[in-house]
């Protein structure tokens, strides 16, 4: 019995499940203390997440950028780097995608890849700045990426308010050209045939009334590609070797400085691509003046750590976050509880993820008890 418990405690998935469970427990206690029925609140959360095809589609839409920024953080973490700058890389990616989408008006087969490439390239260059400063001068990437985040925010506010991008009477830019949209069947959905189809197939029709786009499919593909790259290629082995022990990697002939730069370039490209997919896939297809960060990059940090740094795990933790962020609005609408309870839940989950080393310690105690009993 003790050996079974020991094995369970040592599994990474156990720490994640326990963290999520405690997140719900803490949220339930706070709701109860505030006079709300936690069971009604969680039932409302479940309905707001899975109650209609429309809700499921919106959860996927909400989770897409968080999955990809989570991949960005997880990828850098395998190299021993803490990419706090995913938020800034996301912002500059959205700037580049919008600017290119406004200036260029090409057929979709060219327009869409060009916009996505622009976003990824901008994010890569922005991440590369922090990587170069780390490799060349040893400047901690946490400091540089935090500063770069703020530069990106103010750059977005500058670009969104100048001609020829600024749209008069709004707080943002013009939308990108329609040829750059990645919403599934965007033109067909406005036709009479689509209206008839949606009426005859209400479940599919409910989902099609959202901005459901190709982003979630790209996010899943990226997760498998990054996993394959890290664990099945020589370059991925180099990056992980540097993350495990920089001195040993250097002694083995692996260039630590070069791999730091390469890692931040790839991590930045992922965050920039997440932004470009949002610009092409979700209304209003533009950038606006930012009073604060949109938190896609910051939430990606939590997603990466809940997933234990696993690229595949980022898919599930990202969808969990998407469900909490979107479905959590129902708690306020249905029972009047403040939506901030969702942020408390997320914070609690992340907090307990940070304490996951407790479980292996418990496993060691079970192992010792098992040995003493024997």
Residues of the chain with pLDDT under 70: 1-12, 354-374
Residue 173 DSSP label: B
pLDDT at 158: 96
367/371 Cα distance (integer angstroms): 6
What per-residue confidence (pLDDT) applies to 251? 85
- Which parts of the chain are beta strand (E)? none
Query: pLDDT tens for residues 53-88?
Result: 899 999 999 999 999 999 999 999 988 899 999 999
How many other β-carbons are positioned within 10 Å of the β-carbon of residue 105? 12
* pTM (predicted TM-score): 0.91
Burial per residue of 195-229, b for 16 or more beta-carbon CB atoms within 10 angstroms, e otherwise: eebbeeeeeebbbbebbbbbbbebbbebbeebbee
Three-state SS at 256: helix
pLDDT of residue 227: 95
């Amino acid at each position: 019995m003790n050996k079974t418990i020991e094995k369970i405690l040592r599994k990474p998935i156990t720490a994640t499940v326990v963290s999520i469970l405690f997140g719900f427990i803490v949220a339930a206690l706070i709701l109860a203390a505030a006079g709300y029925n936690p069971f009604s609140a969680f039932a409302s959360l479940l309905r707001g997440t899975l109650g209609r095809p429309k809700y499921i589609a919106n959860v996927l839409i909400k989770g897409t950028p968080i999955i990809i920024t989570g991949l960005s953080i997880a990828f850098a973490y395998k190299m021993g780097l803490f990419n706090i700058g995913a938020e800034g890389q996301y912002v500059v990616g959205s700037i580049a995608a919008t600017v290119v989408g406004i200036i260029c008006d090409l057929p979709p087969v060219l327009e869409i890849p060009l916009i996505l490439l622009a976003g990824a390239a901008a994010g890569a260059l922005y991440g590369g700045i922090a990587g170069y400063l780390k490799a060349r001068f040893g400047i901690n990437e946490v400091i540089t990426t935090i500063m770069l985040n703020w530069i990106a925010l103010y750059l977005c506010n500058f670009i969104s308010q100048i001609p020829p991008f600024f749209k008069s009477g709004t707080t943002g830019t013009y939308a990108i050209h329609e040829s750059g949209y990645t919403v599934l069947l965007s033109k067909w959905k406005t036709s009479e045939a689509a209206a008839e189809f949606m009426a005859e197939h209400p479940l599919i029709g409910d989902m099609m009334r959202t901005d459901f786009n190709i982003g979630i499919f790209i996010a899943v593909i990226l997760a498998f590609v990054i996993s394959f790259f890290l664990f099945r290629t020589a370059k991925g082995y180099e990056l992980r070797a540097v993350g495990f022990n920089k001195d040993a990697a250097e002694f083995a002939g692996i260039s630590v400085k070069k791999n730091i730069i390469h890692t931040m370039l790839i991590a930045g490209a992922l965050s920039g691509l997440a932004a470009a997919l949002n610009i092409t896939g979700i209304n209003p297809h533009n950038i606006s003046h930012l009073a604060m960060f949109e938190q896609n990059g910051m939430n990606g940090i939590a997603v990466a750590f809940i997933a234990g740094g696993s690229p595949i795990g980022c898919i599930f933790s990202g969808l969990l976050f998407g469900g909490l962020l979107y479905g959590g609005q129902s708690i306020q609408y249905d029972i009047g509880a403040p939506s901030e309870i969702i942020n408390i839940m997320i914070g609690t989950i992340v907090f307990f993820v940070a304490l996951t080393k407790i479980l292996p310690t418990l496993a060691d105690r079970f192992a010792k008890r098992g040995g003493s009993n024997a």
